[in-house]
Amino acid sequence: MTATLEQIRAVLDSIVDDATGVALGHAVRDRDIDLGGSVPAIRAEVGYPLPEERRGALLGQALAAFSEAGIGEVTLDLQWKVQSHAVQRTLKPVPGIRNIIAVSSGKGGVGKSTTAVNLALALARDGASVGMLDADVYGPSLPTMTGATGRPPSHDGKTMEPLEAHGIKVNSIGFLMGNDAPAIWRGPMATQALEQLLQLTNWGDLDYLIIDMPPGTGDIALTLSQKVPVVGAVIVTTPQDIALMDARRGLMMFNKVDVPILGIVENMAVHVCSNCGHAEHIFGEGGGQRMAQQYDTPWLGSLPLSMPIRVQADSGRPTVVADPGSAEALAYQQIARRVEGRVAVLPRDMSARFPSVVVESL
């Protein structure tokens, strides 16, 4: 059967990409469909990382759809490129960083930092270029969790180079002050320091920069959410009612400053005894999922209360790199892929396509 452009288009539009929830046809332009050869040749470019197993699954799904449509053999070239997406209307994206993602929690002690660093490492494991900024001035944990040491070097006396750990670029106030030095700063000083840490770090070319936000919804967190150009936020909570109350405040804070919520992660959802295998919901059950339903917000997944996660983070080798085949690491990877898909369908950043308007007096 000789397929027409319309028939190819119809099949592509019938294939729902599980990563984004939209048709694969959105990733294919008419000029990417070549009907001049012995078989149709199609090039598709999706907006999220496409490691081999993910590429194979999508390719198999697409070829099966063409076969069912009676078109038969086609050549499908699947590529990926993470695009820049829109930030708050009053801000501009940081040059070189396509997407900044805030990881936040309404309160401390819910495992936000551990989730953030494993999310960053999972994104990098999928093939993305990733950086991470520790925005918790009063309790920086990135130096310990990544095992990175030393002070970020400066080649010009004005900007600094990020350190590297496990394939991602990292920076933290902890690298500049030392692990034991307290940050005795008032809110405006802390906020200014973090803005400078973001803007004066030579991040290079990044698909994603993960920002580990300070806990709570106080002055620093609110000011950062207003001044840092983020494409979306991930909310981390435990199933406990007290944690959920604070997580809701965090969610509402981002809503007020027009930052999309990429989804909710429920941490410490269940504990499985290492001796007997008994599973127990120490902090309650399903609270994060109910919150996601209540606010019509994506559910990204749940993570266990696990001793290996804690030990690995404390040792400077988080779970995703310490034990990539474990159930815990696979849970982080699944959450990362849902974040990738959520970011990919956000509105694109169009600021670079429009020239600046300059009004001159005659």
80, 222 Cβ separation under 8 angstroms: no
Q: Give, in degrees to the nearest 5, the angle at Cα 325 between 324 and 326.
A: 95
Which residue reads 């993910």 in tokens?
54
Backbone angles phi, psi at 28, to 5 degrees: -130, 125
Question: What would the 3-class secondary structure string for 269-324 be?
Answer: CCEECCCCCCEECCCCCCHHHHHHHHCCCCEEEECCCCHHHHHHHHCCCCHHHHCC
Q: Annotation-wise, does 358 bind a ligand?
A: no
Rg (CA), the chain: 22
Q: Annotation-wise, does 109 bind a ligand?
A: yes
Q: Annotation-wise, does 110 bind a ligand?
A: yes
- Ordered alpha helix ranges (H), the chain: 5-14, 52-68, 112-125, 142-146, 173-177, 187-199, 219-227, 241-256, 287-294, 307-314, 319-322, 327-344
Q: Annotation-wise, does 107 bind a ligand?
A: yes
| Closest by Cα among 111, 81, 80, 115 to 101 | 115
Q: Annotation-wise, does 232 bind a ligand?
A: no
Interatomic CA distance for residues 243 and 79, integer angstroms: 41
Long-range contacts of 177-186 (CB under 8 A, 24+ apart): 177/140, 179/140, 179/143, 179/144, 182/138, 183/137, 183/138, 185/137
DSSP single-letter state for residue 242: H
Q: Annotation-wise, does 111 bind a ligand?
A: yes
Which residue reads 């310990």 in tokens?
144
Interatomic CA distance for residues 159 and 212, integer angstroms: 21
Interatomic CA distance for residues 264 and 246, integer angstroms: 13
Binding-site residues for ATP sit at: 106-113
Binding-site residues sit at: 106-113
